[in-house]
Amino acid sequence: MTTFRRNPGLFMKQLKKNKRPLVLTVKGKAEAVVQDAESYQRLLDIVARADVHEGIRQGLEDVAQGRTRPAQEVFNEIRAKHGIPR
């Protein structure tokens, strides 16, 4: 961490160039990770896509296991619960 604090500009240049995160240590133990904004955003995008894919996978599994109901039945239930006229 001390080395990073002494010359953050050099490290930021390195981060932007190689797009790899930098692990900062204190007494040899990992304490923080520094990453350039573009790489971090790319990581967030990957995680978001993984969440979408997992949701689709779960939905397909629900269909395969018969854990579904007709949409009209669900809509009627919601209307009745909230007093929404047809």
Spell out the per-residue pLDDT of the chain, length 86, in tens. 888 889 899 989 999 899 999 999 999 999 999 999 999 999 999 999 999 999 999 999 999 999 999 999 999 999 999 999 98
What total number of domains does the chain contain?
1
Q: Please name which of 46, 40, 39 lies closest in space to residue 17, comparing C-alpha atoms.
A: 39
User: Please, are residues 15 and 35 in contact by the beta-carbon 8 Å criterion?
Assistant: yes
Structure tokens belonging to residue 53: 């894919």
Which range of residues forms the domain containing residue 58?
2-82
Q: Give the pLDDT confidence score for residue 1 in this predicted structure.
A: 81
